Amino acid sequence: MAITYAAPTGPHAVGVRDGEVLDTTYPALRPEEANGRRLMVRVWYPASPSAGQHRRYCEDAELPVLRWLAEATGAPQRWADQLAGMPSHSVTGAAVAASGFPTLVFSHGAMSWVSQNAPLMEHLASHGYVVWSVAHPGEACGVRFRDSELVRYDDGFKDKFVGLLAEPGYSDKLTGDIARRFEVTPEFLDDRAMGPWSQRWVDDFRAVVDALESGSVTGPAADLVTASDTTRLGVLGMSFGAAAAASAAQQDERVRAAVNLDGGQFLSDLLDTDIRVPLLHLASDIRGQLAAMGVPGLTTLDANEFFFEPLSTAGTRSDVHRLRIEDVTHLELADFVLIPATERASVLPGGGKVDSQRTIDLLNAFIRGHFDAVLLGAQNGFPGKQLAEYPEVTPIDLSPVRTWSLTRA
């Protein structure tokens, strides 16, 4: 069965190009990157109308990367093949429409790939954003550079990430009372668990922005630097990339807005403190997923219940929007949602309950609404309109955290 998705709704045609950034500034984690970390970037941007060829979701030379994605996530290999041949709505190398567009930097999930939310990237570009997606070599499922070098994910990174749920004390983050959940949270931050890699991804965000400001991007994407207005800069990501995006917004004063798409934080920079910029946090239905996996006694309110605001005021900031999407699973917030629902239901615990196009439209509406409000100053009443249109999205209630915080010594 062929799969597809609706064309983006903005006034601009969409172009797509690849490029590269060489980072020699920030600390390396992988020995092979001691002399610099190569970052492949894929850029979606507002383009002039073009009769050029629309890019396929995955070009032939990239197919190993997409198959590694299925391998790393445990998804069927046929899903990679189904996605691979799907036509996109982007024209490779199309002329850029103008210059000075607000700029977004996107980070994929752990062991995922640079195009993992392509419909969202196209939607944002069609509405006037330049979106730079960065591939993280070694921690992505795979990266294909322009010189044809292929970098597969590091097994050590995968094993550590997949084994996180089995770490001593991790289950208490999900099933303990509030005091216990808060007590164990620092055990999985910073130098422990995935913290060092999360900081490396924060640095990848910063390296891309540095390259935009210095004009050091190479490859076909190089001349898109002048189209990118970094004074109106937002960051976003999904899963592990979402956590890095939020921390990048906290650590880098150039960032003005952030979106965390279902990523739990791995750094302490946002624990029990205010995030520096307006934030949209969109969460999957964690209760439904864990119930389907047989995890009993879930008590956590959200993966980020102790982050983004002081505990005493958690959930009260008017520019920090914490929202949960009913019945959607984690991987359905990326392009696996395009797989037919019956197949998703047979593979993803709790999956297959949401409609593909509606889920894409939902993400498009909330994420663009947030960035329009912050970066463009649009008086769009965000998120009221979106909440009315998508009743399956509801605010996350953190009042229990605020009440508990009053009892702390």
The verdict on residue 314 lying in a domain is yes
- pLDDT band for position 248 (cuts 50, 70, 90): very high
Of the CA atoms within 13 Å of residue 361, those in its CB half-sphere come to 14
The verdict on residue 6 lying in a domain is no
- pLDDT band for position 52 (cuts 50, 70, 90): confident
pLDDT digits (tens, 9 = 90+) for 56-67: 999 999 999 999
Q: Is the pLDDT of residue 385 over 70?
A: yes
Q: Give me the domain span that covers residue 27.
A: 13-405
pLDDT digits (tens, 9 = 90+) for 106-120: 999 999 999 999 999
Quick check: 179 and 404 in contact, CB under 8 A? Answer: yes
The verdict on residue 324 lying in a domain is yes
Beta-carbon contacts of residue 174 (< 8 Å; ≥ 6 apart):
181, 290, 295, 298, 299, 300
The verdict on residue 103 lying in a domain is yes
The verdict on residue 1 lying in a domain is no
Q: Is the pLDDT of residue 232 over 80?
A: yes
Number of domains in the chain: 1
The verdict on residue 2 lying in a domain is no
Mean pLDDT calculated for residue range 30-35: 93
CA dihedral 325, 299, 266, 191 (to 10 degrees): -170
- pLDDT band for position 50 (cuts 50, 70, 90): confident
pLDDT digits (tens, 9 = 90+) for 196-228: 999 999 999 999 999 999 999 999 999 999 999
The verdict on residue 7 lying in a domain is no
Mean pLDDT calculated for residue range 337-361: 96
Domain containing 236 — which CATH number?
Answer: 3.40.50.1820
Of the CA atoms within 13 Å of residue 354, those in its CB half-sphere come to 31
The verdict on residue 105 lying in a domain is yes
Say which residue the tokens 């093949």 belong to: 81
Write phi, then psi, for 268 (nearest 5 degrees): -85, 0
Quick check: 151 and 143 in contact, CB under 8 A? Answer: yes
Please tell me the distance from the alpha carbon of residue 173 to that of residue 162, in angstroms, as a whole number. Answer: 16
